[in-house]
Each structure stands twice: as C-alpha cells, then as structure tokens.
Amino acid sequence: MLENIQLGDQHFILHPSGVMFWEEQEILLISDVHLGKISHFRKFGSAVPYAAISENFKNLTIAVDFFAPKIICFLGDLFHSSLNVEWDLFTDWATKTSASIVLVAGNHDIISGLKYEALGIKIFSEIIQNNILLTHHPEERDGFYNICGHLHPGFKLKGVGRQMVKLRCFYQNQQQLIMPAFGEFTGNFWISPNEGDRVFAITKKEVILVY
C-alpha cells in the first residue's frame, strides 16, 4: 500500500522501499543508499551477509521498474566511502537503467566526480524546482519546502505492555520531509515527532501514517 501526499501544488507517492516519486516531474527520489558499506564492513571482519549487497540493487530495480521515472535523483550518500567491488555492481546497474541519474552530493560522497561523469551522472550540491529544495542535509530556507535525507529517520511503535516495533519512516514537518535511508545496514535516528508533524512508517509491503 502506498501513500500520496501533496507539498504545495506538487504531488508525491511514498513507496514501502523508502523511495518517493514526484509525479509532476517524473522524478524518483532515493536517499542514503550507502553502497559499498556492506563490503566495507565485511572487509574489516563484520559478519554481514554477502547477499545483502545484491538486495540493495534488487530493491533499486524494483522501485525503478514500478515508477518508470524519467529521472532518478539520489539525495546524497549514494556510496558509503572509497571505491570497492560494489562500484562495479553500481556501474552495471546504472548503464542498464534508461532513466537519467543525478546525485545531490552528501557527506559520504567522496568518490571522484569523474567516475560519475563517465557514467553520465550529474552531481549537484542542491536542486531547486517548483519551490521544492532538494538537499542531502536538512535545511530551512524561506520560500522553499525541503526534501532531504541524512538522518535515517526511524520510529518506535509501542504496543501493549513492552511490545515495540522499530521501523524506518518518512518524517514530515512544516519545513521538511526527511526520507528514510534506502540502504541495508544503515542504522536509524529515532524520531520524536512534535504536534503537527507526520510520520509515515514503512514495512516490507506498506507505508502507514502512524503519527
């Protein structure tokens, strides 16, 4: 199940994978994939399953195929650190994708821009369109609504007794919509929403307005 939201006069679809589709612009927004992080962990002895690497690319392909966007916009931290084997996997994935790809650079995006340029990927510090400000870090700027990432928002759903479910989420307030981290094993920042905020928790199959 999807969720539809409106920001100003623009319409967006929230997907359980953690991506967000901008209908008018046909742009697929994806934040904090952190490709290469799993290989980085494994290199230094962490017991992270190798299959998790292919899961990232599988989920990317599912989201792209579902929305068939004209543009894929990564909102920062596409790659976790320096080059490793996952760059070759990304190269293969990107060259098979018909949509144009752009990257709003995040703090982890340290790979040379020449590598992205060779794949036809343009890099920006921010993108402004229809009074929507696309960034990696959350920002507040007069006259613009900010869609961003970086924080990896999550929400703790509390049940009867001590029951608790921890879920990734889209977190919306008056100035910003902060997207969940797309990548596997990225961690979460647990949100404590204020009055008037909205939290859309995501499961494997649903986006659910929980606050």
Mean pLDDT for the stretch of residues 81-99: 86
- pLDDT higher than threshold 90 for residue 184: no
- Prediction pTM value: 0.92
H helix or E strand, kind and range, residue 52: helix 51-67
Break the chain down into helix, strand, coil percent, rounded to 5.
20, 35, 50
More confident position, 139 or 52: 139
- Judged by DSSP in three states, 126 sits in coil
- pLDDT higher than threshold 50 for residue 91: yes
H helix or E strand, kind and range, residue 6: strand 3-7
- pLDDT higher than threshold 60 for residue 45: no
pLDDT at 69: 98
* CATH code of the region 3-209: 3.60.21
Kindly write down the DSSP assignment for every residue of 139-192, as one continuous string: ---TT-EEEE-SS-EEEEEE-STT-EEEEEEEEE-SSEEEPPP-STT---EE--
- pLDDT higher than threshold 70 for residue 77: yes
H helix or E strand, kind and range, residue 62: helix 51-67
Kindly write down the DSSP assignment for every residue of 66-92, as one continuous string: HH--SEEEE-S-SB-SS--HHHHHHHH
